[in-house]
Structure 1
C-alpha cells in the first residue's frame, strides 16, 4: 500500500491533453522545433531518417529558413546530425548508445536525488507527493491509453524528485538525457518489451517515492537506479537490433 492509498486520497489527472511539448510556442521557430522534437522522440520520424527541408517545411507549415533554425536547435539537442552539404538526419539509436546514456543518467540523477532528499523542505515534499499522485492516476488508467499524457506525468515526477537539487547544469543535462531516454522507451513499448507482464512501472515509481519521502537516500538512489536501468536490460535481453 502506498502513502497515497493510506491517506485515502483519490489522485486526479491534471496533465494537459495536448502533447506535452506543444503548448503555446512563442515563435514559429519554436513551434517547428517542438513539433519536430516531439515527432522524433515519439518515433514518428525514425532514427536515421533523412530530414529534407523542402518536404518538412510544408508538413510543419513554416518557411525553409525557419525550419533550418529549428533543425539547428535539434542538432544542439543531439537529436539531429548534420552531414556536411548533404543536409540533416535523425540521430541513430543503438544498444551501445543506450548503455552509455543509462550509465550517465544514473550517475547524475541518483546524486541529484540524494542531495534533493537531503536539502528538500516541506514544499519540495508536497510537490513531490502531488506529482506522484498525478502519475499514479495516469498509471491506474494504463500508459497505453494516452502515452503523451503519461509521459508528461512521468517527466514531472522525475523532475519533482530532484527539484531541491538546485544545480542549473544538472537540471539541463538531466532533461536532455531524459529526452533521449524517451526515444528508447517508445521503442520498448512498440516492441512489447515494456508491458505489464515484464515490469510494473507503478511499483517502481512507488518504491522511489516512498524512500524519498522517508528521507532514505541510499534506498531511494538504488530504487531509482534499478528503474532507469531496466529499459536497457529489457531491450538488451531481447536481443533486438535497433
Structure 2
C-alpha cells in the first residue's frame, strides 16, 4: 500500500510540476506537501527523490528539495538537442513502421483532433496526454530503445516549458493543422519533409516562448 501511495503522490506531483503549480526555484516543503496530499513525510521524500531523476526537482545539500529552474539558455539547448533526437527516431520509425503502427497513429491523431476542436480546445482535460501519445506514436516504430529513452526524457522537459508558459503566449496558432501536416507526410513515407515539419513544430513553440519574455536568462 505504501508503495502504491508513493507512486500516486509521484504522479500527482509530477503533473503539478509540469503544469507550473510551483514556481521554478521554489523550495518544496516536505511537511506542507505531506499535509496537502494527506500522506506521510517519507512518502513525499520518496516521490521527490524520484522527481530529481526526472530533473523536475533538485536536491540541495542542507537546503532540501527545490523546483528545477528554467531559463532561456536551457530552453534553447533543450530544443537543439531534442530536434536532433526526435529526427533520428522519426527517420527510423518511418523506415520500420508497419500497418499496425499506421493504424495506431491514425487512431491517436483522431482522438487528438477531436479533443483540440472541442469547446474546451487545448484546455480539454485529456488534450495534453493525447498530445504526448501522438508524439510517442510518431516514433513508436523506432528500434533503438536508448534513442527512445532519451527522447522521452527530453519530451518531459519540453512539456514543462510548454504547459507552464504557452497558455499565456500561444495566440493564434493552428496546431491541429501542424499535426495533420506531420501525420500526412509520415504516412506518405516522405521522411525528410516529415522531419522538417516536426522540427518546425517544435521550434515554433520555443520561438513563441522566447518572444514572450517569460523565459529569462540565468541570474
1:4 — aligned with what? none
2:94 — aligned with what? 117
Q: 1:103 to 1:27 in 2, by over 3 A?
A: same
Output the CA distance in 2 between the equivalents of 1:241 and 1:155.
23
1:93 aligns with 2:70: yes
Q: 1:87 to 1:152 in 2, by over 3 A?
A: same
TM-score, reference length from structure 1: 0.84
Q: Deviations over 1:71-97 (max 9, x none)?
A: 110001110001101100000111111
1:169 aligns with 2:143: no
1:241 deviates by 4.2
1:235 aligns with 2:209: yes
1:60 deviates by 1.4
1:26 deviates by 6.6
Candidates 167, 186, 197, aligned match of 1:212: 186
Q: 1:94 to 1:143 in 2, by over 3 A?
A: farther
1:28 aligns with 2:5: yes
Secondary structure of 2:214's partner? coil
Structure 1 unmatched runs, 5+: 1-24
Output the CA distance in 2 between the equivalents of 1:226 and 1:180.
18
1:1-242 mapped onto 2 (5 Å cutoff): 27-141=4-118, 142-146=120-124, 148-191=125-168, 193-195=169-171, 197=172, 199-242=173-216
Output the CA distance in 1 between the equivalents of 2:215 and 2:13.
25
Output the CA distance in 2 between the equivalents of 1:183 and 1:235.
12
1:239 deviates by 2.9
Q: Deviations over 1:170-221 (max 9, x none)?
A: 2222222111111211233332x213x2x21111101100000000000100
Structure 2 unmatched runs, 5+: none
Output the CA distance in 2 between the equivalents of 1:236 and 1:189.
10
Write out the 4+ residue segments of structure 1 that deviate beyond 6 Å after TM superposition: none
Kindly tell me the number of residue pairs found equivalent between the two proteins.
Answer: 214
CA contact (8 A) 2:209 2:215 kept: no
1:99 deviates by 0.8
Q: 1:240 to 1:67 in 2, by over 3 A?
A: closer
Output the CA distance in 2 between the equivalents of 1:26 and 1:169.
27
CA contact (8 A) 1:188 1:231 kept: no
User: When you count helix as a share of all residues, which structure comes out higher?
Assistant: 2
